[in-house]
Each structure stands twice: as C-alpha cells, then as structure tokens.
Amino acid sequence: MDARLRNTTRYLAAAAYLDPAFRDRALGSLLDQRHRSVAPSVGGFDLVPVLRHCLYARSLLTVRDAAVTAMLVLALLFGFTGVFPWIAVLAGLGVLASHPGGPMAARRSTGRLLATAGAAGVALMGAGIGFAALMAASSSSYDEDSSGVAWLGPVMLLAAAGTVLAYRMRVYRILAERLRPGATHPEADPSTRMGEVDAAQKGNLTLYSGENPFIGAGHLVRAWTIAAELDRRKGTYERELSEVDAVELHEYVGDRLEQMRFEAAPGMPVDLDILDHVVAEGLLNQLHGTHPLLQDGRPRHHLDHDALHAIIRNPQSGARHYRWIVVGTGGAAVTDRHGNQVLPATDRDTTVSIFIHLAIEGRMLYTEFIVMALPPVRAAHRVVDELPKEAGPALLLTTLTRAPLQLARDLVAAPVRLVRGGLVALRTVKDPADFVVFDFGAEVSLRELGAEREITTFLERLDAFKYAKLVEERLNNAVLDYLDLHDVDTTAYRQQVAAVINNGTVVNGGTFSGVAIGGQGAKVTAGEAA
C-alpha cells in the first residue's frame, strides 16, 4: 500500500486549519456524535488523517485565542482610551476579510454589499477616532504615575497581534511540512472512535439521514430505469417459466464489469473499483429491542455475504443494494514502447460514481442506473501545493501577504471564538438509548463538504460522460446476455435501452443539481413528484 497521502486527503486536512466552519462541522458530526453512521470514503480519500488534523487545529486555535483574549483584556484595562479606537479599526478590517466560499459559507450578494459598506464605515470611523485620540494624547501631558502604566495598553495590543501572526506562521509551516506533496500517512491513532471511523468509511453499509441515500458521492449527472417482463419467452410454443435469480444476475453482471479492468488489453484497462453498497434510512425504531442494523448501540457498517444476498433477493425491504462502481482518480504513468516516460502518474480528486440496482419483483426485472460526480476540493484548500519548501523569509512573506485582512479578523474575534468554543464543549449530545425512534444516519460527508460547487473543467465533465457510457453499455449487454441464457424475450428491454440512449436523462421528483450530460438529443426534465 502506498504510504503517501492522496491529494484529496491533503487538501481536506489543510481545510482543518484554513476553514474553521469545516473543522467544527467535522468534529461535531463525526467525533462528538458517535452514534452517527459514517459516510463512505472513495477515490483514495482517507477520513482519519483529516480528523486528526482537525483535532490538532482546534487545540492549537484554542491556545491562541485564550492568549489573545487575555492580552486584549489587559490592553483595554491599562490603555482603553488609546487602544479601543484601534480595535475598532481592526474590527472593521476583519469584517472586510474574505471568507472561503462553498457549502459552509453561502452568502447573498446583497448581504455582502451591505456588510462591506458597514465594515468600511466602522473602519473609517475607528480610524478617525484613533487619529483624534493619538493627537490628543500627543498634545496633553500625563502625570508621572499614569505615564508609567499607559504604555502597557499598546504593548499588549502589539503582543496580541504578534501572537496571531506567530500562529499563522505555525499553521503555514504545518501545511508546508506535513501536508506537502508526497507527505505520508501519520502514525496510527489508537483511540476507539478513530478506529470506528476508519472501519466505517470502508464498510458496505451506510445509514443516511435526510433524503440523500448517496451521501458522499456528489451531484446527480445521469439516471435512467428499465423494467422488463421475465415471462415473455422466446419462440411460440409453451415453455416453463424461467427461474431468474437476482443474486446470480448480480454476480453475472459483476463479472462482466470486472473484465473491463482485469481482462482488458495490456495497458488499456479501465481503473474501476466495484463495491457492494447497501443504503438504509438512519431513522430506526428501537421499540422491540436492538435493531438489526445496530451493534452495541452504534450503526453497523459491514454486512456479510448472506445478509447482502438476502437484501438483493428482497428489494422491498428497508434497505437497498447497489453495485457501486467508482472510476479511478489516479492515472498511471504513460511510457512509450522504449520505456521512456511520456507523462507522469496523475492524482485527480474528481470522482465519478455509478450505482447499479437490479431487482426482480413480481416476475419483472427492474434495472436502475445512476451516475454521480463529486467535484474537486475547493481551490482555497490547495494552498499546500503553493507554499515554499523551507521555513524562512519566503514563508514569512507568504504569511503576511496571503489574506492579510484575516489577521485583523483573527485578532478581534478571538474572545468570541473562545466563548463559543466553551459553549460547544458544554453542549450535551443526545443519547439514543433515551429514545424509541432515533436518527443514526450520516448527516455529512467531509469530502462533499470541502468540494467545489460543480466540476471545474470541461475535460472532467467529458470523463464523467465517457465512463458512464462505457459502464452503461457493458451493463446492458451483460443483462441482455443473461436473459438470453434463460430464454427470456429481450425485445422490450432492447427497445427501452434504445429510448434511453436517444432521449437522454429524465429525472422525476426531488431536486436536480449538477451537470446533466446525455447522448444525441439529450434533455433533462425535472418533474414534480406525484
């Protein structure tokens, strides 16, 4: 196993230091609420290093805010008249500071405009008051006792500013050394919860909270369904009804998909991960004792083969089985026929997921095909690829020039963050044992939380379309071949396949978001649910 951290993991670990909202949501949802299921991690993403950096970032930030708060209090006590106006100036500049966008900072343009205008007004007013106070102080005479104390205020304010700057330097040094390209996995964490998270992110069962059963997979790109009768036999004479087994069909289709990577021409396999994946609603009823999807009061994250086969054969149950195909995000190095490298290996963090559901109910075959695309990690978190290798003047210059207004925000907001952190620490988490019906579902995916709003390059959109078409063709041919082996008339299935290819994607009900890509004459129709 490669010990190096994948790019996606490095970028989201950097978000632990750069995006406080991301860090707080990660720790609150995954470590504080231990009864929650964990969203699956795919595409080489590892959740554990991200959470470890979140814990360290929180402790580092708490120490900084405590020190800065103490210095600000001393500055106001010993030199309120001279210090307060400058704190007002810093507060105005702090509001002007740019915040990273994304799901954790959705803001309306009108609100931003009003906030910016207000902040500019506060900054100008504070600057005016500060200048007037400075002129008054320079023109007045202090007695000997007061002059011996008045200097402590500005000194404490400068010390607080120096602490904020030193913290920023420390953070950038961590990013440059521990999360640089080629950085390796940290040592294993022996804590029980980290072990649970590590196992759960690789499990084949996910309990979800809310409406989205595909948490962690991104936006909907393409979806279609086909239903066909199994009683339509080939020929005109009477035959016994064919017995089509859902598990056997799944295994047949799975083998055909595996051939795309294991039996392809040398140097031309498709990099796919083919997984069994079961989703179930996390709102569970514990009235009659422990629910089968719970173990020791915690959500289960792995089902054995017997349980998987039972769910496949009973599609009307509360859980649903999918064959989850994850298109590889790491491209191998390209070499010519002489062994010379043409292109280095790539590590992309855009992930394409394809979900296949095959169900046999009422002598009918139901095929469901869903394509999801997870955009890359936000650009603001890729700073780890831009920092200088060595700590020194270059790193200090980066510290001062990158988002300088945020230094002012970090200074004046330290007391607020300290109080808010204390209130969060005192908050009690609900105990599932106190409720008959309780939501154990995963409510957040860190990979989705740190992603861009949409796929950022046209080639990545084309890749989503390409791999969807490759798998779609392989799936339909495998299903048709299996039905032919069992003498089932496939005319209706073939007609529906042709309609899907020609007419594109139709999504009825719910909310459609993301990039819609279809074939010739493709269109997307978002209809209201019945």
107-116, 349-358, 360-369: which range is least confident on average?
107-116
**Residue 386 or 515, more confident:** 386
User: Is the confidence at residue 198, as pLDDT, over 80?
Assistant: yes
- Whole-number Å distance between alpha carbons of 453 and 218: 10
- β 523-527/504-508 pair status: parallel
**Mean pLDDT value across residues 7-14:** 92
Per the document, the length of the chain is 530
pLDDT in tens, 243-291: 789 999 999 999 999 888 766 555 566 778 889 999 999 999 887 778 8
3-state helix, strand, coil in the chain (%, to 5): 50, 15, 35
What's the sign of the alpha-carbon dihedral 430, 433, 439, 443?
A: positive
The CA-atom distances, in angstroms, between 147 and each of 74, 141, 144, 160, 492 are: 16, 9, 5, 21, 94
186 vs 444: which has the higher pLDDT: 444
The CA radius of gyration of the chain, in Å to the nearest whole number, is 29
**What whole-number percentage of the chain has pLDDT above 70?**
77
Phi/psi of residue 261, nearest 5 degrees = -115, -30
How far is 438 from 308, CA to CA, in rounded Å?
A: 24
Write out pLDDT tens, residues 207-256: 999 889 999 999 898 899 999 888 877 665 555 667 789 999 999 999 99
Strands 330-331 and 346-347: what pairing? antiparallel
Average pLDDT over residues 27-49: 89
Output the average pLDDT for the chain: 79
Q: What is the pLDDT of residues 311-329, one digit of tens each?
A: 999 988 889 999 999 986 6
Q: Which residues contact 524 (CB under 8 A, 6 or more apart)?
A: 504, 505, 506, 507, 512, 516, 518
pLDDT for 362 equals: 85
pLDDT, tens digit, 9 for 90 and up, residues 404-413: 778 888 888 8
Q: So what's the pLDDT on residue 457?
A: 81
At 11, is the secondary structure helix, strand, or coil? helix
pLDDT, tens digit, 9 for 90 and up, residues 421-431: 888 878 778 88
Tell me the average pLDDT across 2-7. 80
Confidence check: pLDDT of 506 > 60: no
Residue 420 has pLDDT above 70, yes or no: yes
Please give the Cα distance from 74 to 89 (Å, whole number). 18
DSSP H helical ranges for 364-404: 393-401
Task: Encode pLDDT of 101-144 as tens digits.
Answer: 433 343 444 444 444 444 444 444 444 444 444 444 444 444 44
pLDDT at 489: 87
pLDDT per residue over 341-350, tens digit each? 776 666 677 8
pTM above 0.95, yes or no: no
pLDDT of residue 238: 59
